[in-house]
Structure 1
């Protein structure tokens, strides 16, 4: 297999610690998945699915950003829950633990990446990305957004038994390695005989940050964020709606093995490419299933309202609240949380909730210093017009 791969391999402009080049090949299975990603990543699913049209787009983007921020943090050891992370970000409350701070930093980093998608990659952008990712979490705060020093012991160890898995390149080589990385990331129009598939380019960026380990901490989070930057810059807009870390978190051992196999088998990145294209495909299939499920849920709520006094009365944001409340009675919704989830003004968010309160489909209660709207236990019956006087 090694001989076959070397015979048809493509050299990359990156060298390992011994001065040997990294390379990869494209076996049929890799070409097949790359083709599938190309056909799916243009975003057509967002217009084919009623639940994802128009004003829904921002809500799905925010959901994806939160999931990626959460999963990428948990991969690096953050201790928190998805629900706590979601509520923290949507309610804009301060983080209550180091795990929540990691999630919030990752969320801000993903927002930063979206803003920089139209810009060429520079060391300054990478430094700022790392600063955002690690703000308030490093033992030495001065190392946020700075390359590691020669005196810093930065290695990759097996968390189970402390076995040494990877020693990154010497710190003195990092500035030049970072310049090579940026040149590679920005070279989007090579000659035809040097064409590199855009998804391969993004995955190689991901790998090389992990291999170089240019920072004392936060390398994995920075690497995965740069993958998103590269995919968005190369017009794979559907990537805004998926979380690769959510898939990686299910099989972290395979993720680690893909890194190790690529390094140990003569710098053959084919292992990592196969792993990460599979991750992207699974994430995109998950999005398709998610959108289809959301469409069915909204249609079900609308069916409940048919023939009642509520038919045609509520907008898509209110239908989402009713769907959630019917599924989870007792759910609490704040004006700020609703505003941030749907990217609307405070006035619009409050009007949505007050309208549902006036329709007797939500209750209002005191929560701490503020008010929250609560889904009653019999919301489904109310929606179906079974409550006396509702139809």
Structure 2
């Protein structure tokens, strides 16, 4: 390289227009379409400017800890916006955060089940199954037993989420993943619908047999412990792509990968992230339900090929932003539930003591006057003894909030007509 060329490069790096572009790409991901509308330095072409910016970004980029089927590297440039979003996700999802504490609160158990319905429906669609919202809600809330394979898979996957804590301190191995598969497939007939494969125009899938794919998935989940480990959100997306591009399990790969992502978050000490509906977020972006200008770009334009490597900066930027927005929604909803619950408790306290399970029943009854409550469903939802569940509902009936009727051999509890007026007189609702 001649001295003249070196001088030209130094002059370019000092050029005010080029410096402005560098500050811009340091701040947030920059799509090619946006770059094309910008002023570039005199004396070099637009493409040369783009190549120079990318070369500088690549110097300090973060490489993903895996390669694609062609052995190519993937990386992303940690812009300030990406770092801010990932830091915010860490702060709000780590053990002991406000969101983690709220999720563990007994008062929010019912809310979490309600909030999980959409995510559960989206998850089983990954395996080609469909179920309506109301039917899914009835099964997840324990209002009735599953009547077919779709509903059984839905319930198995949901129940497995609450049992993930038993895996957190155990090493994740291929055998662990197979054990989780056995749990979700118990009582479910053979899968007859095709799962939705994950494909990428740039990232080539690995040609892996099932044992190798399971071993790699376990490694991604278990090996993220050192100081410079990749962010769990990105590793979670890697697990999703790996499982849904190789289908290493006999069936229900979609349901299992969702559990594996949640296990990864719990092992990474970000337990609240396990309750963010990531499958739904990804599907909405991938299907175009969420599109520009709500997000920076479409999925098809979020991966960029640079020098035979895949630049995932835009992808990471969009994903982190979507997760952060969803966290806002989850927190806002939880705060409303907690505030409503506190007001409810205070209003009823002077007249009668109502426990958190009974308050949850009354809150559902207020929003759905047609709701029917059963002892078994109440028992399963709140994980209490049958006698405790029975006492909860009978007391509400004694107070006049519910009406107890016999249906076949079991009791059903219907909402008392005019419940809102009754509670208003007690000062419990506005």
Contact 2:124 2:254 in 1 (8 A): no
Superposition deviation, residue 186 in structure 1: 2.2
- For residue 360 of structure 2, give the secondary structure of its aligned residue in structure 1: helix
Looking at structure 2, the residues matched to 102 and 48 of structure 1 have their Cα atoms a distance apart, in angstroms, of 29
SS in 1 for 2:412: strand
Corresponding residue to 2:172 among 121, 126, 142: 121
Do residues 169 (structure 1) and 206 (structure 2) align? yes
Unaligned runs of 5+ in 1: 142-152, 387-391
Kindly tell me the number of residue pairs found equivalent between the two proteins: 364
- What secondary structure sits across from 1:384 in the alignment? helix
Whether the aligned pair in 2 keeps the contact of 1:24 and 1:268 (CA below 8 Å) is yes
Aligned counterpart in structure 2 of residue 291 of structure 1, from 334, 339, 342? 334
1:344 aligned counterpart, secondary structure: coil
Change beyond 3 A, Cα 1:275–1:7: same
With 174-183 and 285-294 compared, the bigger mean Cα shift is at 174-183
Separation in 1, partners of 2:151, 2:122: 12
Pairs within 5 Å for 1:45-56: 45-46=98-99, 54-56=105-107
Question: What does residue 9 of structure 2 align with?
Answer: none
**1:235–1:176: structure 2 CA closer, same or farther, 3 Å change rule?**
same
CA distance in 2 between counterparts of 1:377 and 1:258 reads 50
Distance in 2 between residues matched to 1:39 and 1:164, nearest whole Å: 34
2:387 is the alignment partner of 1:350: no
Counterpart in the other structure of 1:245:
279
Give the direction of change, closer, same or farther, for the CA distance of 1:89–1:139 in structure 2 (3 Å limit): closer
Deviations 1:57-80 (A, max 9, x none): 554555555554333124544322
Q: For the Cα contact (< 8 Å) 1:60–1:241, is it kept in 2?
A: no
1:210 maps to 2:253: no
Query: Structure 1 residues 250-259 or 335-344, which shifts more?
Result: 250-259
Deviates more, 1:317-326 or 1:67-76: 67-76
Corresponding residue for residue 144 of structure 1: none
Paired position in structure 2 for 1:231: 265
Unaligned ranges ≥5, structure 2: 1-29, 31-50, 292-297
Give the Cα–Cα distance (whole angstroms) in 2 for the partners of residues 164 and 201 of structure 1: 20
Shift of 1:354: 0.9
Counterpart for residue 14 of structure 1: 66
Are positions 1:23 and 2:63 aligned together? no
Structure 2 equivalent of residue 197 of structure 1: 231
Distance of aligned partners of 1:282 and 1:131 in 2 relative to their CA distance in 1, 3 Å threshold: farther
TM-score (norm 1): 0.77
How far 1:122 sits from its partner (Å)? Answer: 0.9
What is the distance in 1 between the residues matched to 2:221 and 2:116? 23
**Coordinate RMSD, CA, aligned:** 3.8
Deviation at 1:102, TM superposition (A): 3.0
**Aligned counterpart, 1:220:** 254
Whether the 8 Å CA contact 1:304–1:383 is kept in 2: the answer is no
TM-score, normalization by structure 2: 0.71
